[in-house]
Structure 1
């Protein structure tokens, strides 16, 4: 089979006509470039982000660049479970299919802060938000039997450490890069566990490292004054070590469209190639532990049970 990518660049002319793609944070950066590419492939694109003005501006730019009239925008704040639930309810009620979900949006190196639900920002936005969103949309994704889920992780997951008794960083010195690295490790654990749980549905789930990319995520640089934090600031400021946003989006695009990835699931990709993850940290035991904890913290089971009882009694 001919590969869809060469040297980290997608070369395939695969079309996504009649397919619907949802991309979080598609108003800028990697998400925008992913949306632009998939719109050229004739997909229907749902841009999901917090800022309606930025989302509409991105929509207009993509429409002008591609001629597509199949771009819509929706409001979504991954730092709020209420926003995620409202968004997912809207999507489930208004969309008849969802073929590709790209969990692209995230935060990096933020000063210590909490989501509206009381979770450390990297933990909440980079993991718990996408975890809840994906689960709430899972029935729609599995509906057509061949959906794809792409989770943006990072090579930084290799340095991630999960302090299971303090994932909110309340009882230890806060590290912006440490919190980010941990959240990227969670993305890999989530990907592996979800791939096991949707086995037999035809849905595939893969994680990607986009490379060290010059994006808006780096605007908060300088918050981490540790040696490691200063080193990452230096790397992000050197064009020699970084890539532009279009290049950075290639692996997400590859995992979303490559025919040779049909049936390939629970893997981690970089430069459009399968790579290895941190072992044994990403073993089954930790994947299951994070899943069960995330279900509890997002009240996923409680809400689903409640909704089922309401529907049964109505």
Structure 2
């Protein structure tokens, strides 16, 4: 006769095994990019390359012999990340740590000056860095913009435009904009881009919303920016594409997730959340796969084109570009 102790012990083991099998079954649709084309001689610039998806993207590119610029807000973390990669890949490509704070236009300008002085061209710019901060914290960039607008959109908008000459010099070259399918939840209110009303509502409301409006809006802005830039760079040899890495376990949501969320959401995390390495696959694909060279203005997920459910509007796209241009130039009249 089987003892009750054995039965009780077998139940949680069975549950764990079942969850593992379900996760394995689900992960079959999470494409793994296996092409190992040598990227020696190419320079890749990745924002936020010291952790999460940016770090895993850097690892994959270094393994393929690429030169990778780690453009990070914390230089020490960038250096530590590089040291760890070098231990794993002693014969990989060159890695250069550089200071870049996307919440500061001044930092972006200084960073670009150094890049232009040290590198003849940029082959691929990967706009990966991003933040998610609860709206009730009312976080601002150093230039006074709402944090999601300022870092996720305006910071990359300014950086990319300042590097266009170097990207054109590297043609055929690419700009990869890391967005999210959460852009489909976004809504751009040009009368309140800094979300003053949303922030006031968040401060009054107890608890947080399922989707952070600031983050979703910034991901929509990423998509519009990439679409507009692809049109503007048509015929220059610079491809611009957007991608979604999927729902990934990274420290991106460190400011939004509390300890009890991990308990309440454990089944969802186990079944649906990808690792940073799994999330990086589409980013690496968009940045390096030769089969999509010459293809521009598309959105990719799981290493294939994705049809967004968002009703993109050309007038809204043009208006966002013009407003972004005005916001950047309002600080200092630097030609873009």
Q: Same fold (TM over 0.5)?
A: yes
Query: Residue 53 of structure 2 contacts residue 250 of structure 2 at CA under 8 Å; is this kept in 1?
Result: yes
Of 113, 124, 140, 2:139 maps to 113
Greater C-alpha Rg: 2
Partner in structure 2 of residue 296 of structure 1? 326
Question: 5+ unaligned residues in a row in structure 2: which ranges?
Answer: 1-28, 203-208
Distance 1:73 1:300, change over 3 A: farther
Residue of structure 1 in register with 2:60 after alignment: 37
C-alpha displacement at 1:52, in angstroms? 1.1
Q: So what's the TM-score if we normalise by structure 1?
A: 0.88
Cα shift at 1:297: 0.5
CA contact (8 A) 1:14 1:41 kept: yes
- Residues 256-297 of structure 1: CA deviation (Å, up to 9, x unaligned): 1111111111111111110012442x2221111111011011
Contact 1:157 1:278 survives alignment (8 Å): no
Q: 1:11 to 1:69 in 2, by over 3 A?
A: closer
Query: Normalising by structure 2, what TM-score?
Result: 0.82
1:33 and 1:113 mapped to 2: Cα distance?
28
**Structure 1 residue corresponding to 2:45, chosen from 22, 44, 48:** 22
Residue aligning to 2:26: none
Instruction: Report the CA distance between 1:236 and its aligned residue.
Output: 9.4
SS in 1 for 2:69: strand
Per the alignment, residue 316 of structure 2 pairs with: 286
Q: Which has the higher helix share?
A: 2
Q: How does 1:2-81 map to 2 (within 5 A)?
A: 8-67=31-90, 68=92, 70-81=94-105
Tell me the CA shift for residue 104 of structure 1.
Answer: 0.5
Q: Distance in 2 between matches of 1:247 and 1:196?
A: 30
1:165 is paired with a residue whose SS is helix
Alpha-carbon contact 2:281-2:302 (below 8 Å) kept:
yes
Note the alpha carbon deviations across 1:71-93, whole angstroms, 9 max, x for none. 11000000001000110111111
Distance 1:203 1:169, change over 3 A: same
Task: Pick closer, same or farther for the CA change 1:9–1:290 going to 2, 3 Å.
Answer: same
- Secondary structure at the aligned position of 1:150 is classed as strand
- Which range moves more in the overlay, 154-163 or 104-113? 104-113
Distance in structure 2 (CA, Å) of the matches to 1:156 and 1:63: 34
How large is the RMSD of aligned CA atoms in angstroms? 2.2
Which of 291, 305, 329 is the matching residue for 1:260? 291
- Give me the whole-angstrom Cα distance separating, in 1, the residues matched to 2:233 and 2:127: 17
Alpha-carbon distance in 2 for matches of 1:62, 1:201: 34
Deviation at 1:14, TM superposition (A): 1.1
The Cα shift of 1:235 comes to 7.8
**Paired residues for 1:197-276 under 5 Å:** 197-222=232-257, 234=265, 238-276=269-307
Residues 1:201 and 1:24: Cα distance change in structure 2 (over 3 Å) = same
